[in-house]
């Protein structure tokens, strides 16, 4: 889906502000895009305004670790520790694969491509477990991007505490 942000220098701030505040329009455009969203517009203008457009821009242009603070996330730190202690590998937090964020990206010296790892924290209390699993598997398919040989690893959080396999 192509989403064109037809706003630029010379437009009245009130007109740009109106578009900026129309969260329902942003929501419809973003959620209608099944797997690819192409956003066209003035990057500098929307970066100044912040909000949804800036978040889309940041998601599209960030190649290194994301802005989120991983220091307070114990499960993610445990996953990083487990993945980074495998011999002959390096692990990185906050990377993206095919434009989709992954929890850890593991690069093995002898592998042709890195291994994306998605932390499955389990469903929230009272949430539909089947729906949670469907969403996790869909997220994995998005990261795989339809490649037959690619398989993002869904890593259940309980395994981080399983000492019988270490």
Q: Which residues of 93-123 are buried (b: 16+ CB within 10 A; e: fewer)?
A: bbbbbbebbbbbbbeeeeeeebbbbbbbeee
pTM here is 0.58
Give yes or no for residue 22 having a pLDDT over 90. Answer: no
- Kindly report, residue by residue over 47-71, the tens digit of the pLDDT: 787 777 777 777 766 554 444 555 5
The structural domains of the chain, with segments of one domain joined by +, span 2-63, 74-161
Average pLDDT, the chain: 81
Q: Listing from the earlier edge strand, what are the strands of the sheet with 104-108?
A: 89-93, 104-108, 115-120, 153-156
Tally of CB atoms within 10 A around 76: 20
C-alpha to C-alpha distance for 79 and 161, rounded to whole angstroms = 10
Per the CB < 8 A criterion, the answer to whether 155 and 120 are in contact is: yes
- Kindly report, residue by residue over 31-48, the tens digit of the pLDDT: 777 667 777 778 777 778
Q: ∠ CA 142-158-91 to the nearest 5 degrees?
A: 55
Give yes or no for residue 6 having a pLDDT over 70. Answer: yes
Looking at the DSSP bridge assignments, the partners of residue 115 are 106
Question: pLDDT confidence of 148, banded at 50, 70, 90?
Answer: low
């Amino acid at each position: 889906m192509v989403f064109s942000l037809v706003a630029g220098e010379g437009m009245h701030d009130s007109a740009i502000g109106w578009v900026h505040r129309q969260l329902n329009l942003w929501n419809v455009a973003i959620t209608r895009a099944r797997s690819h969203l192409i956003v066209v517009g003035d990057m500098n203008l929307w970066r100044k305004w912040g909000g949804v457009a800036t978040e889309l821009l940041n998601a599209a242009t960030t190649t290194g670790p994301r802005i989120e603070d991983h220091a307070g996330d114990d499960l993610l730190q445990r996953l990083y520790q487990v993945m980074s202690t495998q011999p002959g590998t390096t692990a990185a937090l906050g990377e993206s694969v095919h434009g989709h964020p992954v929890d850890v990206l593991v690069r093995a010296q002898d592998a042709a491509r890195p291994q994306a790892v998605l932390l499955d924290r389990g469903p929230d209390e009272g949430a539909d477990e089947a729906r949670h699993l469907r969403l996790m598997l869909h997220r994995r398919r998005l990261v795989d991007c339809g490649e037959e040989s690619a398989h993002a690893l869904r890593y259940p959080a309980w395994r981080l505490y399983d000492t019988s396999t270490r």
